[in-house]
Structure 1
Amino acid sequence: MSLFNDTFTSLQGALDYSAAKNKALSNNIANVDTPGYKAEGVAFKDILAKEASFQTKTTHAGHINFSGEAGQSYTTYKKHDSSYHPNGNNVDIDKEMNELAQNQIQYQALVERMNGKFQSLQSVLKGGG
């Protein structure tokens, strides 16, 4: 018997994703002036592949293959061949700040949802009073 249901597991996975995305965005912002730096991003597909505990079957060439190796990194590089700055850096600070703000809002909402679940559990343990 499990003390926590699948909702806690899903919320934990979403929080892990949001934390990994926050780290990548923070690195991008910190390296906005670093020559040759390529912006990092977190791909949901990679996280799903790492966390997925089910078998998938692709029946069409356009389907996403979720078979991934355990231990693969959450962080992937994006836009290798692009360069927004003369020094080879491809960090768009406005885009990164926008994504960071959106990610922080999502993270806060997930934390509040998790807190609500714990408060419900605490209420049950106290006998509903």
Structure 2
Amino acid sequence: MNLIDKALGMHERALAVRSNRMEVLSRNIANADTPAYKAQDIDFRQVLKETESTAMQTTHANHIGQGEDASPGGLKYRVPFNVAFDGNTVELSVEQAKFGQSAADYQTTLSILESRIGGIRKALRGD
């Protein structure tokens, strides 16, 4: 783990997971009328837990890099409250609510990350 990773903590990975989840939810919304489409979602906590448990640490500058994955996994099919007659499992109101919550979570994580970066800038400038 390099100095920047230590300074930013898990927020950088959390932002990537939240971004990926918003893409998945937007695909669900776009396919609300597609016959037999199965709604998907990402379990944020599980993905971060897997990321933390499998993360390798670089202890020497000559070690091979980790090759971080910008597209975290954890994709699962959602079990709907009501299945449409055509087999589609997307419930538009549920997807829109989850997308709104995910967007708010993304913005919160981004604000925390910006705050950390601002703190690093102040420390470097000596403010």
Structure 1 residue 113 displacement after superposition: 0.8
Aligned partner of 1:12 in structure 2 is 12
Tell me: CA distance 1:14–1:7, structure 2 relative to 1, closer, same or farther (3 Å).
farther
For structure 1, which runs of at least 5 residues remain unmatched after alignment? 55-69
Aligned partner of 2:84 in structure 1 is 85
Equivalent residues of 2:20, 2:72 under 8 A apart? no
Specify which structure has the higher proportion of helix: 2
Question: How many residues are matched?
Answer: 112
Structure 1 residue 47 displacement after superposition: 4.3
CA offset digits 1:6-64 (Å, max 9, x no partner): 4513101211221121111011001000000000010232442244237xxxxxxxxxx
Counterparts of 1:48-59 in structure 2, within 5 Å, are 48-53=49-54
Secondary structure of 1:101's aligned partner:
helix
CA offset digits 1:64-121 (Å, max 9, x no partner): xxxxxx99833122228x7521111010100100010001011001111111111111
Aligned partner of 2:25 in structure 1 is 25
Separation (CA, whole Å) in 2 of partners of 1:7 and 1:104: 24
Q: 2:49 is aligned with what amino acid?
A: L
Q: Please say which of residues 83-92 and 21-30 is displaced more in the overlay.
A: 83-92
Aligned partner of 1:96 in structure 2 is 95
Aligned partner of 2:121 in structure 1 is 122
Separation (CA, whole Å) in 2 of partners of 1:124 and 1:50: 29
Separation (CA, whole Å) in 2 of partners of 1:93 and 1:3: 43
Tell me: CA distance 1:125–1:47, structure 2 relative to 1, closer, same or farther (3 Å).
closer
Separation (CA, whole Å) in 2 of partners of 1:34 and 1:83: 15
Which ranges of 4 or more aligned residues in structure 1 deviate by more than 6 Å?
Answer: none
Q: 1:77 is aligned with what amino acid?
A: Y
The TM-score with structure 1 as length reference comes to: 0.74
Counterparts of 1:104-115 in structure 2, within 5 Å, are 104-115=103-114
Q: Aligned-residue CA RMSD in angstroms?
A: 2.6
Aligned partner of 2:36 in structure 1 is 36
